[in-house]
A and B are shown apart, each in its own frame.
Chain A
Amino acid sequence: MHSVDVRSITKSWGVTTAVADVSFAVRQGHLTVLLGPSGCGKSTMLRMIAGLEEPTSGTIEIGGRDVAGLTGAARGVAMVFQSYALFPHLTVSDNIAFGLSVRGAPKAEIATRLAKVASLLGLEALLARKPSQLSGGQQQRVALGRALIAEAPVCLLDEPLSNLDAQLRQDLRREIRALQQRLGITMIYVTHDQTEAMSMADDVILMRAGRIEQQGAPAELYDRPATLFTARFIGGAPMSFLDLDDGASGAVIAGTTSPILFAGPGKGRVLGLRPEDVTVDSAAAPGTFHAVVTAVEYLGGEALVTCRIGERPILARVRGKDVPAVGAAVGVHWQPSAAHIFEASSGKRVATEFGSATRPKLHTVSH
């Protein structure tokens, strides 16, 4: 069942279009992340679902009901703001209970719900404090509590963790996800952080310039990025891109006399490789691409090695123990299935046939 159904929503202010003809559906009990760089329209989209902005055109259905003209609680959604938007003059309990008391809920009901939410979020000891007396993480919990207490079927979160430090962000990420799954809430979560999206989401909607670039499970976006933009945006360490050229019998890496990658034209295409798919070997190994190590970024358990193939750098993730020296001549290779091929002009993924060259081989070495 669809909990939130967004149908060709457009939002424009004068000549600027923030969201252009966006449609998607969020299933009940799922966590959907709206992901994208700043200015891509994800927050505007969220605010339209919240009812804080009216779309220029299109409809939004929540629980099968057209919610045009309704805001927040009236359309069955609650929201956690990026700044938390806690009322500085109210105590934690008054902040959490604000919505219920505004809507005139009976005192006894407010008290039981407050106790429930407080224990859920571990806020029992803080209920009498003011927001200014809380740490960032505690404030975030209060904001979450305020969104959860009404038990609205849909919960919206607008970059809720962006003001927290890295460690806390990781903890809260897990906590929010666990809470969402335990309570079975439908969540729409806006972030620009792909790590948050990948680690929390059931579904990721990647937006770019007001449109949906790609939508799917995190693994789909990671494994089969449909465009160069997605390929660049998703993934911890950035994907390396190498321009291709037409070789004697297939596509080769531009500016090199590298082995044939696949049969077919290479010119105007781009090869994308994730660092984790690239293996660095000694240069002598057969079936590898010649490369020179130009930089090493040591990360502890592993290291990011930057190599140069022809004119372009390529990143490889290696185990921390096997780090080659800078300046060393090495051979790099990868599984053919790990190669992502894109059309350079349109940025679209090309469905490549690896039939003729299933493995890169050193069959053209010329000096």
Chain B
Amino acid sequence: MNIHIQGWLLALPAVVLLATFTHIPAIKTVIDSFFSTPHGTRPARFIGLTQYHSLVADPIFWRAFTNNLLYALITVPLAIAFALAMALWVNGKISGRAGLRLAFFTPTILPMVAAANIWLFFYTQDYGLLNQIGRAFGFASVNWLGDPTTALPSLMAVTIWKEAGFFMIFYLAALQQVPPDLYEAARMENAGRWQVFRRITWPMVMPTTLFVGINALINAFRVVDQVIAMTGGGPDNATTLLLFYIYQVAFTFWDLGYAAALSTVLLTGLAAVALAQFFLLDRKVHYR
């Protein structure tokens, strides 16, 4: 048998699965975004870029977009910073580091809904953990998730808490790949701790930072379960993120055409991020 046919046959199960559940729906979504939403007797008809025009004019879309951008710009660097800090800590020679590593990783194992419920308890007005602690120090009770100014930062805190432990594992692996000789060579030159970090550790874990950063960025635009479990997008769309908005448009308002247009925009954005990773940043990062 022809080697090419053989190869394709071997790849067939994966191709079928990916095509059925990923590629065909994605293309279908792009096509759907140029049609109106079918209603009962009225079938979908081609309306060109109309969905996109209404998207540009939709204040809630822009709210969701800026929310999401803010969400990404704050959670990604913070999660990375915490992950690296924790990894540096548990990579050192300290007693009980296995327990520490496990402790840092635990949030990752928890299902989002479970984690969300734990944090709901922390955030609850009056008798939530945060407010109880705050009260002990004489602070007024804050409605963390009910106040538009604190709701989004509260969600961000949960994300950082959950992601940092996961990313820590990657950093831990990266740190253990750095040859100890390099640190000894730096010690021979009497380099200080900060210099060692800035000149050796940081550049050596750069590939991991890139990998983690891209993943965190993509994750930030894919958050939906947390919003559903904790705030439902409120108050006053303060916590409405893009994917949650798409979910709402599609399955609460049943405006499938508009949801398809929103999805296409999101998809394009994420694809651009992925491409940037492959073509732009790859070259500037040192790989061993």
Q: Which of A72, A79, A87, A132 contacts B190 (CB 8 A)?
A: A72
Select the stretch in B145-153, B162-170, B178-186 that faces chain A.
Answer: B178-186
Residue numbers in B under 8 Å from A79 (CB-CB): 185, 188
Closest residue to B288 on the A side, CB-wise? A88
Q: Could you give, for residues 185-210 of chain B, a 1 whenever the CB lies within 8 Å of some chain A CB and a 0 otherwise?
A: 11111111001000110011010000
Question: B39: CB under 8 A from chain A?
Answer: no
Interface residue range, chain B: 20 to 34
Select the stretch in A96-104, A177-185, A230-238, A311-319 that faces chain B.
Answer: A96-104
Measured CA separation A74–B200 after assembly (Å):
20
Residue numbers in A under 8 Å from B187 (CB-CB): 52, 71-72
Most chain A CB atoms below 10 A, which of B188, B190, B191:
B188
A74 and B190 contact, CB distance less than 8 A: yes
CB distance from A80 to the nearest CB of B (A): 9
Instruction: Tell me the residues in window 49-71 of chain A with beta carbons closer than 8 Å to chain B beta carbons.
Output: 50-52, 71
A103 and B181 contact, CB distance less than 8 A: no
Residue numbers in B under 8 Å from A99 (CB-CB): 188-190
B188 and A102 contact, CB distance less than 8 A: no
Closest residue to A130 on the B side, CB-wise? B286
Q: Which of B184, B185, B286 contacts A89 (CB 8 A)?
A: B286
Q: Which of A72, A83, A132 contacts B188 (CB 8 A)?
A: A72
Question: A222: CB under 8 A from chain B?
Answer: no
Q: A88-B288, A89-B203, A89-B204 are in contact. Are A102 and B189 (CB under 8 A)?
A: yes
A102 and B190 contact, CB distance less than 8 A: yes
A72 and B189 contact, CB distance less than 8 A: yes
A85 and B191 contact, CB distance less than 8 A: no
Residue count of chain A within 8 Å CB distance of chain B: 24
Closest residue to B192 on the A side, CB-wise? A102
B204 and A85 contact, CB distance less than 8 A: no
CB distance from B180 to the nearest CB of A (A): 9
Residue numbers in A under 8 Å from B206 (CB-CB): 89
Residue numbers in A under 8 Å from B186 (CB-CB): 98, 102
A85 and B190 contact, CB distance less than 8 A: no
A85 and B189 contact, CB distance less than 8 A: no
Residue numbers in A under 8 Å from B190 (CB-CB): 71-74, 99, 102-103
Residue numbers in A under 8 Å from B188 (CB-CB): 50-52, 71-73, 77-79, 99
A83 and B191 contact, CB distance less than 8 A: no
CB distance from B177 to the nearest CB of A (A): 11
Residue numbers in A under 8 Å from B199 (CB-CB): 87, 98, 102
CB distance from A157 to the nearest CB of B (A): 12
Question: A81: CB under 8 A from chain B?
Answer: yes
Most chain A CB atoms below 10 A, which of B185, B187, B203, B286:
B185
A83 and B195 contact, CB distance less than 8 A: no
Q: Could you give, for residues 129-164 of chain A, a 1 whenever the CB lies within 8 Å of some chain B CB and a 0 otherwise?
A: 010100000000000001000100000000000000
Closest residue to B191 on the A side, CB-wise? A102
Measured CA separation A132–B188 after assembly (Å):
22
Residue numbers in A under 8 Å from B204 (CB-CB): 88-89
B191 and A52 contact, CB distance less than 8 A: no
B195 and A85 contact, CB distance less than 8 A: no
A85 and B179 contact, CB distance less than 8 A: yes
B181 and A81 contact, CB distance less than 8 A: yes
Excluding A72-B187, A78-B188, A79-B188, 19 further A-B contacts by CB distance (< 8 Å) are: A52-B184, A52-B187, A52-B188, A71-B190, A74-B190, A77-B188, A79-B185, A85-B181, A87-B199, A87-B200, A88-B286, A89-B203, A98-B185, A99-B188, A99-B189, A102-B192, A102-B199, A103-B190, A132-B288
Q: Could you list 9 examples of A-B contacts with CB < 8 Å?
A: A52-B188, A72-B188, A77-B188, A83-B179, A89-B204, A99-B190, A103-B189, A130-B286, A150-B189
Q: Which residues of A contact B (CB under 8 A)?
A: 50-52, 71-74, 77-79, 81, 83, 85, 87-89, 98-99, 102-103, 130, 132, 146, 150
- In the complex, the 3 A-B pairs of residues with the closest C-beta atoms, listed nearest first: A72-B188, A99-B189, A85-B181
